[in-house]
Amino acid sequence: MGLNPEPCGWWFNKGRTKNGNRKQETITEMQEFYAAMVDRMDTRMRTLTLPNRKLGVTLAGFYIDEDPKSRLWLDKDGRQKTEIKTDQFLKALTHWSKRRNLPEHDHAMFFTILEVFENGQKKLRGYSPQSKICSNESVSIIQERLDFSTITVATHVLAHSLGARHDGDSNPCRPEDHYIMSPKSVTLTEGSILNMWNFSSCSSNSVGQNLKRLNEENANCLKNTPSVRRSKPHRQLGQMFDADVQCQHIFGETSYVCRSKYWSSYRGLCTGLWCSTNSGHCQKIIPADGTSCGRQKV
């Protein structure tokens, strides 16, 4: 996992120095945050139904590109990039990662707050080449909006590398059922509200077919035991950031939970967190995994 300088600056400015070493505290907070995020990606990935196995996600390493003059973030004229073009960036990232002494890994995922565009036109939250796991092109770029939906975005993008296609793309699964590989945001219903944490049967089928191909080619790197031990984070994200802080994380320091939306019970907060906005209205977001919601629920 890698990050470019901009998210680091956001974390640095949000930090509260405890022992005078602001930089190290910022890095420690980021490592805890992204370790917890990868843990929740792992939980989602394990909802794939595959023959005789489960796929998991383990954080192999954490890399911060602290050099603002890194060629990854400069255009051809040497100026700071203001956006990411996926075709150019992923080629550069592939070459860049080869020249770094990175930990052994199956997939390299980079996070940036710059906007990401495919073919210079279509704006994306993230991108990875299709079905390129276990190859030099097993890389991805994620736009980090510093909210908690990034977990699902990163899982969605990693699944593309594993072979998953969008629901409804040459398969019978419906985008409106809102599983992880839905290509668009849709209005959630009581029947689909929990699907956003799970993969559809179509995703399981396409990933299974890609893994079968890799096995036949004797190229399945996912059979290898990770060189790092998987460890559970001390806290889930929803315990690191309570509901009010999550609202502030996204909408600013004056935001808070719109408690009037939960007049009868906080059970609804498990699947939707209503936050006040700068305009005085309430807006619904996805709560962080592990957020307290209702009696003895997270």
Residues tagged in the binding site annotation for Zn(2+) = 156, 160, 166
What number of other Cβ atoms are within 10 A of residue 169's Cβ? Answer: 13
Q: Which of 40, 150, 144, 157 is nearest to 90 (CA)?
A: 157
Query: Burial, 261: exposed, middle or buried (Cβ in 10 Å; 0-12, 13-18, 19+)?
Result: middle
Q: Are 196 and 178 in contact (CB under 8 A)?
A: yes
Q: Are 153 and 184 in contact (CB under 8 A)?
A: no
Which amino acid is present at 13?
N
Q: Are 93 and 71 in contact (CB under 8 A)?
A: no
Beta-strand pair 273-276/282-285: antiparallel
* Long-range CB contacts for residues 17-20, cutoff 8 Å, separation at least 24: none
